[in-house]
Chains A and B, each alone.
Chain A
Amino acid sequence: MSSLKTTVTGYAGYRGREGQLSFLLHRFTGLGTLLFLAIHILDTATVYFIPSLYDHAIALYQSTLFGIGELALVFCVIFHGVNGLRIAYLDMFRPKDWEIRRQRSGVRATLAISMVLWLPAAFIMLRNLAIHNFGMFGG
Protein backbone atom coordinates (compact mmCIF):
# COMPACT_ATOMS: atom_id res chain seq x y z
CA MET A 1 0.00 0.00 0.00
CA SER A 2 1.48 3.30 -1.08
CA SER A 3 1.81 5.88 1.63
CA LEU A 4 -0.39 8.94 1.83
CA LYS A 5 2.69 11.11 1.26
CA THR A 6 3.53 9.32 -1.99
CA THR A 7 -0.06 9.76 -3.13
CA VAL A 8 -0.27 13.44 -2.28
CA THR A 9 3.14 14.34 -3.74
CA GLY A 10 2.37 12.19 -6.77
CA TYR A 11 -0.96 13.90 -7.40
CA ALA A 12 0.56 17.33 -6.82
CA GLY A 13 3.72 16.76 -8.84
CA TYR A 14 2.35 14.87 -11.84
CA ARG A 15 1.70 17.39 -14.57
CA GLY A 16 -1.18 15.69 -16.32
CA ARG A 17 -3.06 18.93 -16.90
CA GLU A 18 -6.76 18.70 -17.79
CA GLY A 19 -6.97 14.91 -17.86
CA GLN A 20 -5.47 14.61 -14.39
CA LEU A 21 -7.57 17.50 -13.11
CA SER A 22 -10.70 15.76 -14.32
CA PHE A 23 -9.60 12.46 -12.72
CA LEU A 24 -8.93 14.19 -9.39
CA LEU A 25 -12.15 16.20 -9.49
CA HIS A 26 -14.21 13.12 -10.35
CA ARG A 27 -12.67 11.32 -7.39
CA PHE A 28 -12.98 14.12 -4.85
CA THR A 29 -16.50 15.13 -5.91
CA GLY A 30 -17.57 11.47 -5.73
CA LEU A 31 -16.02 10.86 -2.32
CA GLY A 32 -17.35 14.17 -1.01
CA THR A 33 -20.86 13.35 -2.16
CA LEU A 34 -20.62 9.87 -0.62
CA LEU A 35 -19.50 11.30 2.73
CA PHE A 36 -22.50 13.62 2.79
CA LEU A 37 -24.84 10.91 1.53
CA ALA A 38 -23.94 8.52 4.37
CA ILE A 39 -24.60 11.27 6.94
CA HIS A 40 -27.74 12.38 5.11
CA ILE A 41 -29.30 8.88 5.09
CA LEU A 42 -28.74 8.67 8.84
CA ASP A 43 -30.09 12.16 9.63
CA THR A 44 -33.20 11.55 7.52
CA ALA A 45 -33.69 8.16 9.19
CA THR A 46 -34.17 9.97 12.52
CA VAL A 47 -37.73 10.84 11.39
CA TYR A 48 -38.53 7.19 12.06
CA PHE A 49 -36.02 6.17 14.75
CA ILE A 50 -35.63 9.35 16.88
CA PRO A 51 -38.15 11.94 15.56
CA SER A 52 -37.25 14.52 18.25
CA LEU A 53 -33.74 14.71 16.78
CA TYR A 54 -34.71 15.57 13.19
CA ASP A 55 -35.33 19.29 13.63
CA HIS A 56 -31.95 19.60 15.39
CA ALA A 57 -30.25 18.00 12.40
CA ILE A 58 -32.07 20.36 10.04
CA ALA A 59 -31.13 23.34 12.24
CA LEU A 60 -27.50 22.33 11.75
CA TYR A 61 -27.97 22.22 7.97
CA GLN A 62 -29.49 25.71 8.14
CA SER A 63 -26.33 27.15 9.71
CA THR A 64 -24.07 29.35 7.61
CA LEU A 65 -21.17 26.90 7.76
CA PHE A 66 -23.30 24.05 6.39
CA GLY A 67 -24.82 26.47 3.88
CA ILE A 68 -21.37 26.98 2.41
CA GLY A 69 -20.87 23.21 2.50
CA GLU A 70 -24.15 22.87 0.62
CA LEU A 71 -22.81 25.11 -2.15
CA ALA A 72 -19.78 22.81 -2.44
CA LEU A 73 -21.96 19.70 -2.32
CA VAL A 74 -24.18 20.90 -5.16
CA PHE A 75 -21.09 21.61 -7.25
CA CYS A 76 -19.84 18.08 -6.50
CA VAL A 77 -23.13 16.50 -7.60
CA ILE A 78 -23.28 18.60 -10.78
CA PHE A 79 -19.64 18.12 -11.81
CA HIS A 80 -19.63 14.39 -11.05
CA GLY A 81 -22.76 13.98 -13.18
CA VAL A 82 -21.59 16.06 -16.14
CA ASN A 83 -18.16 14.44 -16.14
CA GLY A 84 -19.73 11.00 -15.77
CA LEU A 85 -21.92 11.67 -18.80
CA ARG A 86 -18.83 12.76 -20.76
CA ILE A 87 -17.02 9.54 -19.84
CA ALA A 88 -20.02 7.34 -20.72
CA TYR A 89 -20.58 9.18 -24.01
CA LEU A 90 -16.95 8.73 -25.07
CA ASP A 91 -16.93 5.07 -24.04
CA MET A 92 -20.12 4.20 -25.85
CA PHE A 93 -20.17 6.40 -28.94
CA ARG A 94 -16.74 7.97 -29.45
CA PRO A 95 -14.05 5.61 -28.14
CA LYS A 96 -11.56 7.06 -30.64
CA ASP A 97 -11.85 10.40 -28.87
CA TRP A 98 -10.07 9.01 -25.82
CA GLU A 99 -7.07 11.00 -26.91
CA ILE A 100 -5.19 13.77 -25.13
CA ARG A 101 -6.09 16.77 -27.28
CA ARG A 102 -9.79 15.87 -27.29
CA GLN A 103 -9.62 15.20 -23.57
CA ARG A 104 -8.30 18.68 -22.90
CA SER A 105 -11.12 20.45 -24.69
CA GLY A 106 -13.64 17.96 -23.29
CA VAL A 107 -12.57 18.64 -19.72
CA ARG A 108 -12.75 22.39 -20.30
CA ALA A 109 -16.26 22.01 -21.73
CA THR A 110 -17.27 19.83 -18.77
CA LEU A 111 -16.06 22.47 -16.32
CA ALA A 112 -17.85 25.20 -18.26
CA ILE A 113 -21.15 23.27 -18.35
CA SER A 114 -20.83 22.49 -14.63
CA MET A 115 -20.30 26.17 -13.83
CA VAL A 116 -23.26 27.22 -15.98
CA LEU A 117 -25.46 24.77 -14.08
CA TRP A 118 -23.96 25.55 -10.67
CA LEU A 119 -23.91 29.39 -10.73
CA PRO A 120 -27.70 29.93 -10.77
CA ALA A 121 -28.07 27.25 -8.07
CA ALA A 122 -25.35 28.90 -5.99
CA PHE A 123 -27.02 32.27 -6.43
CA ILE A 124 -30.36 30.98 -5.12
CA MET A 125 -28.74 29.16 -2.17
CA LEU A 126 -26.64 32.22 -1.25
CA ARG A 127 -29.76 34.36 -1.46
CA ASN A 128 -31.57 31.96 0.91
CA LEU A 129 -28.63 32.17 3.30
CA ALA A 130 -28.65 35.98 3.13
CA ILE A 131 -32.40 36.08 3.81
CA HIS A 132 -32.58 33.53 6.63
CA ASN A 133 -29.18 33.82 8.32
CA PHE A 134 -28.40 37.52 7.87
CA GLY A 135 -31.84 39.11 7.67
CA MET A 136 -31.13 40.61 4.26
CA PHE A 137 -33.69 41.22 1.45
CA GLY A 138 -36.45 41.65 4.04
CA GLY A 139 -35.80 38.24 5.62
Chain B
Amino acid sequence: MATITPAPVRTIRRPSNYENAAWRWMRYSAFLLIPLAWGHVLLQDIIVGVHNMDINYVAMRWANIGWRIYDILLLAFAFAHGVNGLRQVLFDYISTSTTRRTLSRVLFAFWLVISLIGAIAIFGGVRMD
Protein backbone atom coordinates (compact mmCIF):
# COMPACT_ATOMS: atom_id res chain seq x y z
CA MET B 1 0.00 0.00 0.00
CA ALA B 2 1.25 3.45 -0.91
CA THR B 3 2.10 5.78 1.93
CA ILE B 4 -0.36 8.58 2.46
CA THR B 5 0.90 12.01 3.42
CA PRO B 6 -1.55 13.89 5.64
CA ALA B 7 -2.64 17.15 4.05
CA PRO B 8 -1.12 20.14 5.87
CA VAL B 9 -3.64 22.36 7.60
CA ARG B 10 -3.28 25.94 6.45
CA THR B 11 -4.73 29.10 7.84
CA ILE B 12 -5.84 31.89 5.55
CA ARG B 13 -7.31 35.31 6.03
CA ARG B 14 -10.89 35.41 4.83
CA PRO B 15 -11.91 38.42 2.74
CA SER B 16 -15.41 39.63 3.59
CA ASN B 17 -17.07 39.76 0.21
CA TYR B 18 -20.13 38.32 -1.51
CA GLU B 19 -18.63 34.85 -2.01
CA ASN B 20 -17.67 34.69 1.65
CA ALA B 21 -21.22 35.58 2.67
CA ALA B 22 -22.59 33.00 0.23
CA TRP B 23 -20.33 30.35 1.73
CA ARG B 24 -21.47 31.19 5.27
CA TRP B 25 -25.07 31.18 4.06
CA MET B 26 -24.60 27.60 2.83
CA ARG B 27 -23.20 26.46 6.17
CA TYR B 28 -25.74 28.18 8.44
CA SER B 29 -28.79 27.40 6.30
CA ALA B 30 -27.59 23.78 6.28
CA PHE B 31 -27.83 23.60 10.09
CA LEU B 32 -31.40 24.91 9.97
CA LEU B 33 -32.29 22.57 7.11
CA ILE B 34 -31.38 19.47 9.10
CA PRO B 35 -34.45 19.82 11.38
CA LEU B 36 -36.60 21.64 8.80
CA ALA B 37 -36.12 19.40 5.75
CA TRP B 38 -35.80 16.13 7.68
CA GLY B 39 -38.87 17.03 9.73
CA HIS B 40 -40.78 17.78 6.56
CA VAL B 41 -39.77 14.47 4.94
CA LEU B 42 -40.52 12.54 8.12
CA LEU B 43 -43.98 14.06 8.43
CA GLN B 44 -45.12 14.17 4.79
CA ASP B 45 -43.44 11.11 3.24
CA ILE B 46 -43.23 8.74 6.20
CA ILE B 47 -45.89 9.55 8.80
CA VAL B 48 -48.69 10.94 6.60
CA GLY B 49 -47.64 9.49 3.25
CA VAL B 50 -48.38 10.85 -0.21
CA HIS B 51 -51.43 8.57 -0.54
CA ASN B 52 -53.23 10.39 2.27
CA MET B 53 -52.81 13.83 0.73
CA ASP B 54 -55.15 16.04 -1.19
CA ILE B 55 -56.02 19.73 -1.26
CA ASN B 56 -58.09 19.37 1.93
CA TYR B 57 -55.01 18.09 3.74
CA VAL B 58 -53.07 21.20 2.69
CA ALA B 59 -55.97 23.41 3.80
CA MET B 60 -56.12 21.65 7.17
CA ARG B 61 -52.37 21.97 7.67
CA TRP B 62 -52.24 25.62 6.67
CA ALA B 63 -55.17 26.43 8.96
CA ASN B 64 -52.43 26.33 11.60
CA ILE B 65 -50.21 29.42 11.45
CA GLY B 66 -47.31 27.43 12.90
CA TRP B 67 -47.15 25.17 9.86
CA ARG B 68 -47.28 28.16 7.54
CA ILE B 69 -44.29 29.69 9.34
CA TYR B 70 -42.53 26.31 9.13
CA ASP B 71 -43.18 26.13 5.38
CA ILE B 72 -42.06 29.72 4.79
CA LEU B 73 -38.80 28.99 6.62
CA LEU B 74 -38.32 25.77 4.66
CA LEU B 75 -38.97 27.59 1.39
CA ALA B 76 -36.59 30.41 2.25
CA PHE B 77 -33.72 28.27 3.48
CA ALA B 78 -33.98 25.18 1.26
CA PHE B 79 -34.44 26.83 -2.09
CA ALA B 80 -31.76 29.49 -1.60
CA HIS B 81 -29.38 26.79 -0.33
CA GLY B 82 -30.14 24.67 -3.39
CA VAL B 83 -29.83 27.41 -6.00
CA ASN B 84 -26.59 28.67 -4.50
CA GLY B 85 -25.34 25.07 -4.51
CA LEU B 86 -26.21 24.82 -8.19
CA ARG B 87 -24.33 28.08 -8.76
CA GLN B 88 -21.24 26.66 -7.06
CA VAL B 89 -21.44 23.46 -9.12
CA LEU B 90 -21.77 25.40 -12.39
CA PHE B 91 -18.87 27.69 -11.41
CA ASP B 92 -16.67 24.58 -11.54
CA TYR B 93 -17.26 24.49 -15.28
CA ILE B 94 -17.23 28.22 -16.00
CA SER B 95 -14.00 30.16 -15.68
CA THR B 96 -14.70 33.57 -17.18
CA SER B 97 -15.98 36.20 -14.77
CA THR B 98 -18.47 37.69 -17.27
CA THR B 99 -20.17 34.32 -17.78
CA ARG B 100 -20.14 33.75 -14.03
CA ARG B 101 -21.78 37.11 -13.46
CA THR B 102 -24.44 36.42 -16.09
CA LEU B 103 -25.09 32.98 -14.64
CA SER B 104 -25.41 34.42 -11.12
CA ARG B 105 -28.01 36.89 -12.38
CA VAL B 106 -29.98 34.24 -14.24
CA LEU B 107 -29.95 31.98 -11.17
CA PHE B 108 -30.94 34.90 -8.93
CA ALA B 109 -33.94 35.61 -11.18
CA PHE B 110 -34.83 31.89 -11.17
CA TRP B 111 -34.61 31.79 -7.37
CA LEU B 112 -36.62 34.99 -6.97
CA VAL B 113 -39.48 33.97 -9.29
CA ILE B 114 -39.95 30.48 -7.81
CA SER B 115 -39.58 31.74 -4.23
CA LEU B 116 -42.18 34.45 -4.84
CA ILE B 117 -44.62 31.96 -6.35
CA GLY B 118 -44.14 29.69 -3.33
CA ALA B 119 -44.39 32.55 -0.82
CA ILE B 120 -47.55 33.99 -2.40
CA ALA B 121 -49.15 30.54 -2.21
CA ILE B 122 -48.22 30.10 1.47
CA PHE B 123 -49.46 33.59 2.39
CA GLY B 124 -52.54 33.31 0.17
CA GLY B 125 -53.44 29.83 1.36
CA VAL B 126 -55.69 27.23 -0.23
CA ARG B 127 -58.41 28.65 -2.47
CA MET B 128 -61.24 26.13 -2.52
CA ASP B 129 -63.41 26.22 -5.65
Residues of A within 8 A of B (CB): 1-2, 7, 27, 30-31, 33-34, 37-38, 41-42, 44-49, 51-52, 54-55, 58, 61-62, 66-67, 70, 74, 77-78, 81, 84-85, 88, 91, 95-96, 98-101, 121, 124-125, 128, 131-132
Q: Enumerate 6 A-B pairs (CB-CB under 8 Å) in ascending A order.
A: A1-B94, A41-B75, A47-B125, A49-B117, A54-B58, A81-B33
Distance between A66 CB and nearest chain B CB, rounded to angstroms: 8
Chain B hits for A78, CB < 8 A: 38, 41
Q: A45-B117, A88-B31, A96-B9 are in contact. Are A51 and B95 (CB under 8 A)?
A: no
Q: In the bound complex, do residue A48 and residue B49 qualify as a contact, i.e. CB atoms below 8 Å apart?
A: no
B73 sits at the interface (CB 8 A): no
Q: In the bound complex, do residue A121 and residue B95 qualify as a contact, i.e. CB atoms below 8 Å apart?
A: no
Interchain CA distance A55-B95 in the complex, whole Å: 44
Q: In the bound complex, do residue B41 and residue A77 qualify as a contact, i.e. CB atoms below 8 Å apart?
A: yes
Interchain CA distance A128-B127 in the complex, whole Å: 29
Interface of A is mostly: helix
Interchain CA distance A46-B59 in the complex, whole Å: 12
Q: In the bound complex, do residue B82 and residue A34 qualify as a contact, i.e. CB atoms below 8 Å apart?
A: yes
Interchain CA distance A132-B52 in the complex, whole Å: 10
Q: In the bound complex, do residue B129 and residue A52 qualify as a contact, i.e. CB atoms below 8 Å apart?
A: yes
Q: In the bound complex, do residue A70 and residue B9 qualify as a contact, i.e. CB atoms below 8 Å apart?
A: no
Nearest first, the 10 A-B pairs at minimum CB distance are A34-B82, A45-B121, A48-B121, A41-B118, A48-B124, A99-B6, A132-B51, A47-B126, A54-B55, A128-B49
Distance between A47 CB and nearest chain B CB, rounded to angstroms: 5
Q: A49-B121, A81-B37 are in contact. Are A31 and B50 (CB under 8 A)?
A: no
Which of chain B's residues has its CB closest to A129's CB? B51
Q: In the bound complex, do residue B31 and residue A41 qualify as a contact, i.e. CB atoms below 8 Å apart?
A: no
Which of A34, A62, A91, A99 touches B51 (beta carbons < 8 Å)?
A62
